[in-house]
Chain A
C-alpha cells in the first residue's frame, strides 16, 4: 500500500533563509508525487507535481522539488523564504492514470521568523 512520511512536524526558519521540507514515500510502481500548501482554515493549493521526466520540478511561488527514486524521496526546497510562506505543507503520492488513490502525509508546519 502506498504511504507518505513527512518526518518533520514543525520547522522554523528565518525570513530569507533557505528551506527544505522532507518527504519519503512508499509505492510499488512509478509514483505521481505532489506538494500542496494549506493556509489556516483554507483548502489545499497545489505547489508542484512530478509525473515523469526531469526529476527536478519547478512549482509556483519559487518552490522546487527533486524526485530521487533511490531514496524514495521528494523533498521540497526554496532558496529564500518569505514571511508569507508560513503555512502547512503536505506531500502526497498517487498512482496510475486516474490518480484516484492519493495518500497524504501528516504535514509539516512552517513558521517563518522575522
Chain B
C-alpha cells in the first residue's frame, strides 16, 4: 500500500491557461474523491467517482472544471481558462469502506 499520490505537487500558471492534475488512488479502493481547500478552510467536496462512473458533482464544480476516471484507476482533474480564484490546494482521496485516505495535494497558484 503506497497511499494516494498526486502529481504535480505544485503548479503555477497564468490566468487563462488550462491545467490538469492527476491522482492515483490506493489500488483496491473503488471510490475516488476530489476536494478543494483554500487557506484557513477545510476541504470542500468537488466530485466523486465509483469505479469509472462520476456519481456526484458539487455546485462548486463550474463548467470550467472536468474530471475523469477512464479505467476506474487513476483520475484527472482539468481546469480550463484558469482564474485567480482557482488558486487553492486540490486534494484527492480514495476509499473502499467508509474512511477516506487523502493524497498530499496539488497546490495551484494562478498569477
Q: Is B20 on the interface with A (CB-CB < 8 A)?
A: no
Decide if B31 is an interface residue (CB 8 Å cutoff): yes
Q: What distance in Å separates the Cβ of B85 from its nearest Cβ neighbour in chain A?
A: 19
Q: Are B56 and A100 in contact (CB under 8 A)?
A: yes
B104 in contact with A42 (CB, 8 Å): yes
Q: List B contacts of A90 (CB < 8 A).
A: 42-43
Q: Which of B41, B42, B44, B48 has the most CB of A within 10 A?
A: B42
> Which of B31, B40, B41, B43 makes the CB contact (< 8 A) with A44?
B43
Q: Is A63 an interface residue (CB 8 A)?
A: no
Question: A57 contacts the other chain (Cβ, under 8 Å)?
Answer: no
Verify B40–A106 contact, CB threshold 8 A. Answer: yes
Q: Is B65 among interface residues, defined by CB-CB distance under 8 A?
A: no
A45, CB-defined interface residue at 8 Å: yes
- On whether the beta carbons of B45 and A43 are closer than 8 Å, the reply is no
Count, chain B residues at interface, CB 8 A? 25
Shortest Cβ gap from A14 to chain B (Å): 25
Determine whether the beta carbon of A43 is less than 8 Å from that of B105.
Answer: yes
A110 at the interface (CB under 8 A from B): no
With A43-B4, A43-B91, A107-B40 already in contact, the answer to whether A36 and B45 are too (CB < 8 A) is no
Question: Does A34 lie at the interface of the complex (its beta carbon under 8 Å from any beta carbon of B)?
Answer: yes
* Contact of A92 with B42 in the complex, beta carbons under 8 Å: yes
Contact A106 B101 (CB under 8 A): no
Could you say which of B11-19, B72-80, B92-100 contacts chain A?
Answer: B92-100
* Contact among A43, A49, A105 for B42, CB-based, below 8 A: A105
Residue of B nearest to A103 (CB): B45
Q: Which residues of A contact B (CB under 8 A)?
A: 4, 32, 34, 36, 41-46, 49, 51, 90, 92, 94, 97-107
**What are 8 A-B residue pairs whose CB atoms fall within 8 Å in the complex?**
A42-B105, A44-B91, A44-B93, A90-B42, A90-B43, A99-B99, A102-B100, A104-B43
